[in-house]
Amino acid sequence: MKKKQLAFLVIILMTTACGEDYLDLRPVSQANVTNFYQTPEDMTNAVWGVYAILQQYGMYGFAMMVAGENRSDNVTNTLKGNAYADFDDFVVATNNSIISDLWNTHFAGIYRANVVLARIENVPMSEQLKNRYVAEVKFLRGLMYFNLVRIFGDVPLVLTEPVAIEEGYSHTRTPTDQVYQQIIQDLSEAAQELPVSYSGNDIGRATQGAALALLGKVHLTTQDFQAASITLKQVIDLGVYQLLPDYAALWDPANANHAESVFEVQYKKGGLGEGSRYPNEAAPRQSAAAVVEIGGGQGVYIPEENIINAYEADDLRKEISLAEGYTSGEGNYIPDPYILKLIDQPFQAYDSDVNWTLLRYADVLLMYAEALNELGYEADGDAFNYLNKIRERVGLPAKTSDNTNSDLRVTSQSELRMAIEQERRVELAFEGHRWFDLVRTGRYMEVMNARGYAFIIEEYHKVFPIPQAQIDINPDVLVQNPGYGN
């Protein structure tokens, strides 16, 4: 699916069926939507429509970066008092527009997935392709619910296409444990049917490795370390992924869907409405054409001093991942940090060719190391080996249990746990993982309060508020998360 028919992914019938608010789920024209799913081509378009949701502003087009990085100690922003700055300042209100975008876009994608699953059985097409489409959609639905449950906690679990408005209004919040059970089921079933790889125009679609890698992350999040270790080892044993020798090659748009990539959200510049907004948002606000030649910068994602100082002295990932300033058009050096990863020159403003890397092999190896360590510390065991594979790629010395250098010596489970956390931070910096890692390990309050806020981060901050508009629509079935008012 690499940067190809994505311009064709704006499926009007499905878009109108989603509506602006999730819980008003009745299709605008039930007859038209029903009649649309008649041929294999219709179903192909419908599956593309589920993938297309990933690009949107409320998912990887913007909001997931804000939730995963701006909320953390990696990223701040130029301005205060706006919707994304509130994530950084831990003052996200119930009417925050990005919160609404996250909720509505994810549930729109789930609706699209449910439509495919409800209609595909009656479409005349090969069983092999039908099974693959079902698996792809279950992977995408599992991904969307995984995001939702990490962002909001308990969320409505909707697994069928609603046929009446009364049904749309009846869904209350499902306990997190039950949502995770469904995510695990979706991803497990997807992994059984998805191919290991694709060729040609299908490159970029969900694979068996993508389903297993995400399932491993889910198990790690629920602290089922045994299941996580087994599942992540399956990804490794597929033998189709490898660390690229050159860390810089990971971020070249011409090298998209490379051997380290497990799953990427596909973008295509060229005035097609399928380009990425990211480079313009990441470039410094006052940089004009010095960083991004067309459209300037918005300063949404500014590396904090904390992450700038987090790299070891000889870690080449620092100069590949971020810049501490730029040279203006007048030739003056401006000390305004910005993220270098994924910077590309767009076709027009907010229209670049940069894919969003959602899962990659380095993430898998570090998760596997973490799962092994949580199952029991072993001096210089496999957890060390997989951690050190990441370090070796960028020329850093190995961490060992008996190193004479105290900075490299790791002698306990807790020390190895922190070494893995540190490696994840610098290896995966600005890729949307940091906040969710801190919540997953229960370290978000300790780390964020040490950052020096004028206020205290509390336990309830691990999730975000339910959009007030959803509660207003459904006051009898939806209740607000604690800490965010009524």
Task: List, for residues 322-361, the tens digit of each pLDDT value.
Answer: 999 999 999 999 999 999 998 889 999 999 999 999 999 9
Q: Tell me: the pLDDT tens digits for 372-408?
A: 999 999 999 999 999 999 999 999 999 999 999 999 9
% of the chain beyond a pLDDT of 90: 84
Give the three-class secondary structure for 325: coil
pLDDT of residue 38: 85
Of the candidate ranges 154-168, 234-248, 393-407, 431-445, the one whose mean pLDDT is the lowest: 154-168
% of the chain beyond a pLDDT of 70: 91
- The pair of three-digit structure tokens given for residue 171, joined into one six-digit string: 């869904």
Domains of the chain: 1-200+442-486 (1.25.40.390)
Q: Tell me: the pLDDT tens digits for 140-184?
A: 999 999 999 999 999 999 998 765 545 556 788 999 999 999 999
- Please state, rounded to an integer, the average pLDDT across all residues of the chain: 90
CB 177 within 8 A of CB 189: no
pLDDT of residue 343: 86
Beta pairing partners, 155? 174
Q: Tell me: the pLDDT tens digits for 100-123?
A: 999 999 999 999 999 999 999 999
CA distances from 51 to 60, 71, 269, 356, 406 (A): 11, 26, 17, 13, 47
Give me the phi and psi of 356, to 5 degrees please: -100, 120
Q: Tell me: the pLDDT tens digits for 17-40?
A: 333 444 443 333 344 555 678 899
pLDDT of residue 383: 98
Q: What is the dihedral of CA 184, 481, 110, 354, to 10 degrees?
A: -90
pLDDT of residue 415: 98
pLDDT of residue 15: 40
pLDDT band for 79, please (50, 70, 90 cuts): confident
